[in-house]
Chain A
């Protein structure tokens, strides 16, 4: 599973870790994140992420 980088702040979404603080379990691929999901650091929307 690919990691994705936030183009605004540089946060890396690692599917292996998920985003447990925002109810995204470990093992969730980036593609499966809901459209409402935003960068947990800076709030950028999903479309502002790029594959690492």
Chain B
């Protein structure tokens, strides 16, 4: 690739990863990008690096603008390997005068075994550095999504370089939001939020308030993954406000796995009940849906209904996977119910309910258990449960 000017003397110099399909357990079926930015000023500054295998792409982009040895400052907004994985390589190569990072950034780079002799310069929220004509102001964003995370803001350019916030996994050769389909872009951004940031929603709310309080004028947001928000940066800020308040729609997700189709029949009957109440419903079989796709649907769903047969006195392993994952991401204020068929012991429904209780979901019913195969009456019960939940959703979500 080649560098792309995003502002006067500010360039995207990152890398596009067209091939990645599994990003630490998150399905990236359309790849991703690792964005890094080069600021040309009296002090030439590189903001973030890229995942290690892409370091030559980064350098190649920089070389088309300047000799990389001229880089004076390196800013590390986040120490995760997809952004800081080339910090050691770049530092040894260009020997920057300073490496700016948050207090936790320094601590965590040392914990990643980077040399303690590097010229770290710790910065905190509100601190600024002058690059010559341009200034960079830092805003710590602890736990959004790691303890070391921070934003770099260029007031003269009204540019917020936002690290992992406001990004999405989507490999494109377009660099800006106004060059791609908005609906698809927002879908990727929602998936990113649901799978990476949902559990920190209370902190997102605080951060949005803090950004407002600091009075930052923002006309462009440049995240470390995916597209740069140039045409409509307000759209992603508003979406983050909505998602972090965990606003829901009149929507349900029915998640299940099945051994001999009994639990599956129950799932279909529940969907039928929800459909009779006009509730938008996603039926997600765990054998064919990735956990990160399911979480994306959970994000704005009001009801989560989970079904599993009982296998060896337990829920099916796929159900344990999604419930463990979901619990960690801390969705709140959901209506829930469990269902499943069994042959003799039938522990699955109770075990799913335990997860629901830990997540403080409201149980719509104690759950439906069916011995071996559901008969007509069982399926009617399932449909009735779907309808009952549908009515609850309509009462609670206007």
Contacts and interface: CB of A to CB of B under 8 A. Distances in A.
Interface of A: 8-9, 41-44
B200 interface: yes
B37 to A, nearest CB: 25
Contacts of A43: 104, 140, 142-143, 147
Interface residues of B, number: 7
A41 B104 CA distance: 8
A43 B203 CA distance: 11
Contact of A8 (B104, B140, B200): B200
User: Closest 9 interchain pairs by CB?
Assistant: A43-B142, A42-B143, A42-B147, A42-B142, A8-B143, A41-B147, A9-B143, A43-B147, A8-B203
Contacts of A42: 104, 142-143, 147
Nearest to A7: B202
A9 to B, nearest CB: 6
Contacts of A41: 104, 147
Contacts of A8: 143, 200, 203
Interface in B139-187: 140, 142-143, 147
Nearest to B146: A42
A44 B147 CA distance: 10
Interface string B118-149: 00000000000000000000001011000100
Contacts of B142: 42-44
A41 B203 CA distance: 15
18 contacts: A8-B143, A8-B200, A8-B203, A9-B143, A9-B147, A41-B104, A41-B147, A42-B104, A42-B142, A42-B143, A42-B147, A43-B104, A43-B140, A43-B142, A43-B143, A43-B147, A44-B142, A44-B143
A52 B142 CA distance: 23
A9 B147 CA distance: 9
Contacts of A9: 143, 147
B73 to A, nearest CB: 24
B164 to A, nearest CB: 15
Given A8-B203, A41-B104, 16 more contacts: A8-B143, A8-B200, A9-B143, A9-B147, A41-B147, A42-B104, A42-B142, A42-B143, A42-B147, A43-B104, A43-B140, A43-B142, A43-B143, A43-B147, A44-B142, A44-B143
Contacts of B147: 9, 41-43
A8 B147 CA distance: 10
A9 B143 CA distance: 8
A49 to B, nearest CB: 14
A31 B277 CA distance: 51
Contacts of B203: 8
Nearest to B199: A8
A41 B223 CA distance: 24
Contacts of B143: 8-9, 42-44
A8 B143 CA distance: 8
B190 to A, nearest CB: 23
A43 B104 CA distance: 9
A26 B153 CA distance: 39
A1 to B, nearest CB: 25
A41 B140 CA distance: 13
Nearest to B141: A43
A43 B143 CA distance: 8
A44 B203 CA distance: 9
A46 to B, nearest CB: 15
Nearest to B103: A43
Nearest to A48: B202
A16 B96 CA distance: 42
Contacts of B140: 43
A42 B143 CA distance: 6
A8 B142 CA distance: 10
Nearest to B330: A7
Nearest to B149: A42
Interface in B219-263: none
A22 to B, nearest CB: 11
